[in-house]
Structure formats: C-alpha cells, structure tokens
Amino acid sequence: SAAEKDGYEHFMLKEIAEQPRAVADTLRGRFDTSGQILLDEVRMSDQDFRDVDKVFIVACGTSYHAGMVAKYAIEHWVRLPCEVELASEFRYRDPVLDRSTLVIVISQSGETMDTLMALRHARNQKARVLAISNTVGSTIPRESDAVLYTRAGIEVAVASTKAFLTQLAACYLVGLHLAAVRGIKYADEVGAVVAELAAAPDKIAEVLAAMEPVRELARSMGTADRALFIGRHVGYPVALEGALKLKELAYMHAEGFAAGELKHGPISLIEAGTPVVVVVPSPRGRSLLHDKVVSNIQEVKARGATVIAIAEEGDAVVAPHVDHTVFTPRVPTLLAPLLTAVPLQVFACELAAAKGLDIDQPRNLAKSVTVE
C-alpha cells in the first residue's frame, strides 16, 4: 500500500533512501571496548577463528558482489587467503575444505537454495560456516556455526539495495573481527577503518542528497539499449553490481568488466555513443590504479563511448576526460563501495522508471530463489 511505501512511489526508492539508517543500524553496538566485533550467534570459539587458514565466501546475485568486496578487505586486513564463489558453482567443483576453512555465506533472505546447499556441503566437509543474513531465524543462519545479522529491515523490492550496503558493512565487521581475534596488530589504516565505518552513514546520506543529476542523466538515456560498467579493485564488483541493477530493472544488456580486461575483448563492443560507466578509484594513495583507470577512460573515449564517471570529490583529473561525473565523498579505498554503489542503484531505478517498467517486481525475477 501507499502507506507502507512511506510516500515513495516504489519500495525500491524507499529502500535506497533508507540506506544511511540501515548501515548505521548494522554497525550499532557491534564493537566491544577491545575492538572485537560482537557476532549475534556464535557457536565457534576465538580459537576456532584463530585456526582458520583459508576463507571462502559463497553467495548468489547481489550478495555475491558484496562477497567480492569482502575478499579485498579480508585479504588486505587479515592476510588470509580468501576466495569468492557463486553458490551454484561451489559444491560442484569439489572445493578443498577442512576444519580450518572458514566459509562465509551471504544471503539477504537466508533461504536461497543454492547458498543453503553450498553451506551444507561445507559443513559436511567439516568447514566452519559464518552466515551474514538479513533474516533472523531463517534457514541459512540456523544451520551455520556463527551469524552476523544485517539490520536493513525488510527489503520488499526484488532488486537488492539496502541489503547490499548492509552486507558490505557486515563484511567489513567480519574482516575486522578476524583481524582482532587473530591478534594481528592493527596497522594505522585498520584502526582508522572503524572510525571511517562509523562515519559512512552520513556520507551515504550526502551521496543521496546529490542524486538529481544522476536521475536527469538516466532520463536522458531512455533510448539506450545497452551499457558497459568498468572498475578496478573494489570498483570492479561495484561495476558488476551496477550492471546487474540495469539488467534486473531496465531489462538492458549491461555488463560489468574489470577495466584491465577491456583490451582482451570488451573494447570491441564500443561504438559511437555506447554508454560506459566507470567506477574511478580514489586519486589519493593508490594513485597507480587511478592512472590506469584514466587511461582506460581514454581508450573507450577514443572509440566514441559516452563516459559516465563515479569519482571521488576533489578528483580534478577525471572530469576533462569524461562526459558526466558523479562525485562521492572521500573514504578509504576499501570502503568506497558503500558510496559508489549508490549512484548506480539510483541510475538503474530512474532508467527503469523512464521506460515505464515495474520497479519493485521486475519480470521473471524473484526476491528469494528457493529452488536450485
């Protein structure tokens, strides 16, 4: 009903707007004084966490993209090897699992059948399973050894938005938890992450407050029938998520690529006017990455692409090379997806609205896929 939508035309718009609150709720009260993260249900000891020598992250859809971001954070902060797998592939390829493997399963609904079957397979092989889920008491958390609940609140729109941002927040918490329990002395960078995480909800709100140009841009693109998304490092999963949102909502052929792979094929897709959305890394710190993305932008521009850049505030280098720039606030590189994903959600939602499509219930899709 209209009342449930809180005055918004679609649940998705409401859920996009709720993201600062959802992330703040997911972080609230999760740190104890020693910096350890408080998980909700833990049937694993600190020693179990210390014994971990390998991490797998297993999920489907948008949750898989959150897992891809988590891999970058966990490997960097915890120095544990970490792989990310689609749940539908994981158990069929005979992954190497034992009691020192930690399998993190991410599922908004807690009921996705592929993810549940992957979890059961992992537990049969004696691996420990930690679930990140938005649904208290659902099957996946119930069958896991430990659980961290996201607190997005009920997500109604089929295309995931606020659940995704809270999954990212939960993944960062798990990374910090692993680092703390394993006694890895926080580097300055990691210590600062906790404060930066706490500041993220306000920055997400800042991004949301500046979305009108993105909506206009989406409306002006109503006739485009395809789009490419590119990024590097954590911008790569964000590019995949941006493309998924366009597929889900606007029924457009949209594909995300690692920007470095452009020259190995995707660049041949570029014609005059092909929209290319580029998730640009911060020019600070890892400026090498930034330079590489700028040359990727030049490569696609030279072939006639219309380039839309998602760039960090103060990035003066990118703007002259692109057609449109959307700025997001400064944040440590690993946390950037909390901000850079937001304009891509808004873009897809508005494009679908411009096409007169059903935003909350796209054709052929289900909120929770309970068949394999």
Are the CB atoms for 320 and 221 separated by under 8 Å? no
Q: Is 369 in the site for ligand G6P (CB under 6 A)?
A: yes
Least separation in angstroms between CB 57 and ligand G6P? 12
Any idea how long the chain is? 372
Clarify whether 367 is annotated catalytic: yes
* CB burial string 314-328: b at 16+ within 10 A, e below: ebeebeebbebbbbb
CA 267 to chain centre: 25
How many residues line the site for ligand G6P (CB under 6 A)? 16
- Listed ranges 59-67, 187-195, 254-262, 313-321: which one lies at the site for ligand G6P (CB under 6 A): 59-67
Task: Tell me which of 26, 88, 101, 112 binds ligand G6P, using CB under 6 A.
Answer: 112
For the packed helices 188-209 and 162-181, what is the interaxial angle rounded to 10 degrees? 170
Q: Is 368 in the site for ligand G6P (CB under 6 A)?
A: yes
Q: Is 158 in the site for ligand G6P (CB under 6 A)?
A: yes
Q: Which is nearer to ligand G6P, 107 or 144 (CB)?
A: 107
**Nearest-CB residue to ligand G6P?**
61
Q: Catalytic pick from 292, 301, 355, 367?
A: 367
- Listed ranges 39-47, 185-193, 202-210, 362-370: which one lies at the site for ligand G6P (CB under 6 A): 362-370
Q: Which is nearer to ligand G6P, 62 or 340 (CB)?
A: 62
- Dihedral over Cα of 203, 208, 213, 218: its sign: positive
Helix or strand holding residue 63 (H, E):
helix 61-78
Q: Which is nearer to ligand G6P, 110 or 266 (CB)?
A: 110
Would you give the DSSP letter of residue 36? -
- CA distance readout (Å), 325 to 167, 197, 270, 271, 315: 27, 25, 19, 20, 10
β-bridge partners, 258: 231
Least separation in angstroms between CB 101 and ligand G6P? 21
Task: Tell me which of 37, 55, 57, 60 binds ligand G6P, using CB under 6 A.
Answer: 60
Task: Tell me which of 19, 26, 63, 166 binds ligand G6P, using CB under 6 A.
Answer: 63
Footprint of ligand G6P on 91-110 (CB under 6 A): 107-109
Binding positions for ligand G6P, rule: CB under 6 A? 60-63, 107-109, 112, 115, 158-160, 365, 367-369
